[in-house]
Amino acid sequence: MTEDLDPSLQVNVLAAALQMDRQESGDLLEFLAHKLELALPQQTTVTRSSKLFSKARPVKEVTVRFNDYHYQIVREQHGLLTAKVMKVVRGVVLKTTEISVDQWTEDIAQQLAQLAQHSAQTRNALNKFVLGGG
């Protein structure tokens, strides 16, 4: 992401990258877990499920923490994805709102763009995120 891009354009580029990769990726949750762990390892928690007698450990849940808001996306029992945003104050969840997966990716893109404005390290991680490095 170049510094000369307008912040709203940066959000649009990130959201488009998420949507494009979502369409190309066979499993959105696996893709998001991989990308977000690379871009924000301290702020991302990935939970994997394990099935008896299976080596596969598919992603069950991804949570990304941004200051007062935590974004969570969960694979339900029948493979459907549920996305939520939680308002957190001093470690206590005050409000949880279920949102669409598309809204979740847009919100994440907005938060990532805001982080990138304040941190060169995050900006470099987002370059890898958008450009496919890593």
Q: Where are the domains of the chain?
A: 10-131
pLDDT recorded at residue 26: 52
Q: What are the φ and ψ backbone dihedral angles of 86, each rounded to 5 degrees?
A: -120, 130
- The helix/strand count (H/E) of the chain reads as 4, 5
The pTM of this model reads: 0.73
pLDDT of residue 43: 92
Q: Look at residue 28 in the predicted model and tell me its pLDDT.
A: 80
Sign of CA dihedral 42, 99, 73, 25: negative
**How many residues would you count in the chain?**
134
Degrees to nearest 5, angle at CA 8 with 131 and 123: 40
pLDDT of residue 96: 96
Weakly modelled stretches of the chain, pLDDT under 70: 1-26, 52, 54, 121-134
